[in-house]
């Protein structure tokens, strides 16, 4: 739920939108013109602004420029109507996060708001921090290279295993780049089918295909003067790879169904956890695109090759989840963390610590947290993001019980909980099972 400021001189529109947003659970402030909005922004704390463009006095574009100057991280969504489309495009160029074409449906409003809160594949105004914690010499020299590259417009290719911090590094580069005042736009190339990814990246014109009722600028246009993260580039279909290559070479995009190419000035960072050379050998990735992307190659080492980072990262995540500034980890735990292979890299460490706090309210990592290290099945050893803590807890309990051959006393000791708690948990699970069947 967010705190939003909506600005429109059309009072009916304003109150309808206010009511709709309140129903969705947002806290809403309103203003009927730009000047009013600017003064509200000084007094109130809001997380995003939704503003009409055409207003007397200070119009939406001027308000947007004011917000960009005074609160660079604040997302601004512009409302535009027929007749103000060029202004909406102008607004996107000036750093608006997104726009809504009036009249808009609830779904369209939801979509825009979801993108804002999820960070999803939408514009991210880089609200999250991009702090990279490391003391490893390889990583430090990698950050030196990244900092050098950040000062140029060169394309960067980050190749590394899953969970090593590829996206974090991309944000860090954006932060330290010449484009840091521009938008940071991320697109996950694996998340969308080919034709959707194409219109997502390059945009489309009205009538380009059935359902294209208006035009939509592509992510490249929205990333103008900023940074575009092409996540999981190895998953991009060959035909799109060819189109992307053209975009990078010509520095212009063609909207789907568009007549004129649109010049773009965007720094591209691509990431992959695949070995692109292998994909090239198999004919699944274009070599020319690889060379075009690989201007500055950055490889983040997996966590098992920089075990000296485990201690600092552990401290960092303990502070993050437990609020302990100077956390102590006992030797046994350090040894345990050190012996482990970390197939899920930093993300796995982060999840383990998060879970240790969630389950026990303090940090004591037991062998059960890492599951059975002798059984190297990714399914049981790697903790995957996206599971809820209660799912993980249940999985942990069941796996531990399996390992103790159903011996509850032994399992409870390994889990660091009382036998009674374990019994209660098992009873809960049984109830759930009978309910869901």
Ligand X SMILES: Nc1ncnc2c1ncn2[C@@H]1O[C@H](COP(=O)(O)OP(=O)(O)OP(=O)(O)O)[C@@H](O)[C@H]1O
Q: How far is the CB of 140 from ligand X (least distance, A)?
A: 11
How many CB atoms sit inside 10 A of residue 209's CB?
Answer: 11
Which is closer to ligand X, CB of 204 or CB of 357? 357
Instruction: Mark the segment that binds Mg ion (CB under 5 A) among 159-167, 239-247, 327-335, 374-382.
Output: 159-167
115 binds, among ligand X, Mg ion, none (CB under 5 to 8 A by kind): none
Total site size for Mg ion, rule CB under 5 A: 2
168 binds, among Mg ion, ligand X, none (CB under 5 to 8 A by kind): ligand X
Distance CA 26, CA 289 (A): 44
Which is closer to ligand X, CB of 286 or CB of 347? 347
* In the complex, residue closest to ligand X by CB: 165
Q: How far is the CB of 129 from ligand X (least distance, A)?
A: 9
165 binds, among Mg ion, ligand X, none (CB under 5 to 8 A by kind): ligand X
Q: What are phi and psi of 84, to 5 degrees?
A: -115, 15
Which is closer to ligand X, CB of 147 or CB of 419? 147
**Residue tagged 């026990």 (tokens):** 360
End-to-end CA distance of the chain: 34
Q: How far is the CB of 168 from Mg ion (least distance, A)?
A: 8
Distance CA 275, CA 280 (A): 9
Distance CA 385, CA 391 (A): 11
Q: Hey, what are 64's tokens?
A: 């947007």
E strand or H helix that includes residue 412: helix 408-415
How many CB atoms sit inside 10 A of residue 401's CB?
Answer: 19
Which is closer to ligand X, CB of 166 or CB of 216? 166
Q: How far is the CB of 133 from ligand X (least distance, A)?
A: 4
Which is closer to ligand X, CB of 46 or CB of 329? 329
b/e map 315-347, b = 16+ CB within 10 Å: bbbbeebbeeeebebeeebeebbeebebbbbbb
Q: How far is the CB of 385 from ligand X (least distance, A)?
A: 8
Q: Hey, what are 136's tokens?
A: 């490893």
Evaluated on CA atoms 65, 220, 114, 172, the torsion sign reads negative
Strands (DSSP E) found in 285-396: 296-299
Q: How far is the CB of 301 from ligand X (least distance, A)?
A: 11
Which is closer to Mg ion, CB of 201 or CB of 233? 233
Which is closer to Mg ion, CB of 173 or CB of 412? 173
Q: Which of 111, 167, 205, 372 binds Mg ion (CB under 5 A)?
A: 167
Q: How far is the CB of 243 from ligand X (least distance, A)?
A: 24
Q: How far is the CB of 165 from Mg ion (least distance, A)?
A: 8
350 binds, among Mg ion, ligand X, none (CB under 5 to 8 A by kind): ligand X
Q: Hey, what are 241's tokens?
A: 């790879």
Which is closer to ligand X, CB of 32 or CB of 227? 227
Instruction: Mark the segment that binds Mg ion (CB under 5 A) among 122-130, 158-166, 387-395, 413-421.
Output: 158-166
Which is closer to ligand X, CB of 34 or CB of 163? 163
Q: How far is the CB of 341 from ligand X (least distance, A)?
A: 17
Q: How far is the CB of 261 from ligand X (least distance, A)?
A: 31
399 binds, among ligand X, Mg ion, none (CB under 5 to 8 A by kind): none
Distance CA 102, CA 217 (A): 16
In this structure, what is the dihedral angle of CA atoms 24, 26, 32, 38, given to the nearest 10 degrees? -150
Q: Hey, what are 167's tokens?
A: 């996206």
How many CB atoms sit inside 10 A of residue 201's CB?
Answer: 25
Which is closer to ligand X, CB of 30 or CB of 164? 164
E strand or H helix that includes residue 123: strand 123-124
303 binds, among Mg ion, ligand X, none (CB under 5 to 8 A by kind): none
Instruction: Mark the segment that binds Mg ion (CB under 5 A) among 33-41, 45-53, 68-76, 162-170.
Output: 162-170
**111 lies in the site for Mg ion, by CB under 5 A:** no
Q: Using H for helix, E for strand and C for coil, what is the string for 138-162? A: HHHHHHHHHHHHHCCCCCEEEECCC
Binding site for ligand X (CB under 6 A): 132-134, 160, 162-168, 273, 316, 346-347, 350
CB 348 within 8 A of CB 163: yes
CB 206 within 8 A of CB 198: no
- Chain residues binding Mg ion by CB under 5 A are 166-167
């Amino acid at each position: 739920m967010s705190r939003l400021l909506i600005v429109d001189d059309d009072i009916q529109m304003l109150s309808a939108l206010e009511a709709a947003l309140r129903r969705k659970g947002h806290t809403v402030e309103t203003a009927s013109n730009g000047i009013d909005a600017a003064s509200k922004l000084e007094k109130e704390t809001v997380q995003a602004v939704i503003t009409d463009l055409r207003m007397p006095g200070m119009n939406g574009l001027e308000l947007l420029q004011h917000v960009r100057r005074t609160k660079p991280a604040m997302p601004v969504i512009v409302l535009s109507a027929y007749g103000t489309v060029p202004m909406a495009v102008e607004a996107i160029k000036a750093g608006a996060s997104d726009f809504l074409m009036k009249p808009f449906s609830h779904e369209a409003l939801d979509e825009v708001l979801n993108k804002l809160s999820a960070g999803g594949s939408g514009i991210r105004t880089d609200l999250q921090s991009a702090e990279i914690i490391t003391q490893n010499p390889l990583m430090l020299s990698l950050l030196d290279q990244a900092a050098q590259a950040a000062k140029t417009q060169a394309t960067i290719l980050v190749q590394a295993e899953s969970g090593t911090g590829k996206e974090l590094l991309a944000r860090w580069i954006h932060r330290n780049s010449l484009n840091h005042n521009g938008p940071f736009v991320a697109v996950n190339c694996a998340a969308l089918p080919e034709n959707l990814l194409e219109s997502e990246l390059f945009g489309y014109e009205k009538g380009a295909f059935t359902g294209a009722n208006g035009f939509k600028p592509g992510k490249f246009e929205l990333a103008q003067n900023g940074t575009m993260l092409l996540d999981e580039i190895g998953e991009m279909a060959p035909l799109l790879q060819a189109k992307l290559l053209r975009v990078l070479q010509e520095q212009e995009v063609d909207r789907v169904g568009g007549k004129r190419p649109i010049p773009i000035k965007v720094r591209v960072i691509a990431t992959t956890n695949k070995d692109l050379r292998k994909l090239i050998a198999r004919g699944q990735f274009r070599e020319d695109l690889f060379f075009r992307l690989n201007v500055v190659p950055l490889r983040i080492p997996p966590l098992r090759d920089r075990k000296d980072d485990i201690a600092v990262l552990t401290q960092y995540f303990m502070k993050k989840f437990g609020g302990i500034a100077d956390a102590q980890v006992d030797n046994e735990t350090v040894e345990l963390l050190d012996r482990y292979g970390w197939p899920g890299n930093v993300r796995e460490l982060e999840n383990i610590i998060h879970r240790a706090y969630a389950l026990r309210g303090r940090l004591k990592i037991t062998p059960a947290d890492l599951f059975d290290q002798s059984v190297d099945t990714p399914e049981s050893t790697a903790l995957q993001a996206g599971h809820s803590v209660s799912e993980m807890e249940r999985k942990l309990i069941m796996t531990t019980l399996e390992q103790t051959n159903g011996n509850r006393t032994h399992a409870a000791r390994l889990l660091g909980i009382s036998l009674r708690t374990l019994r209660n948990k098992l009873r809960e699970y049984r109830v759930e099972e009978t309910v869901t069947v």
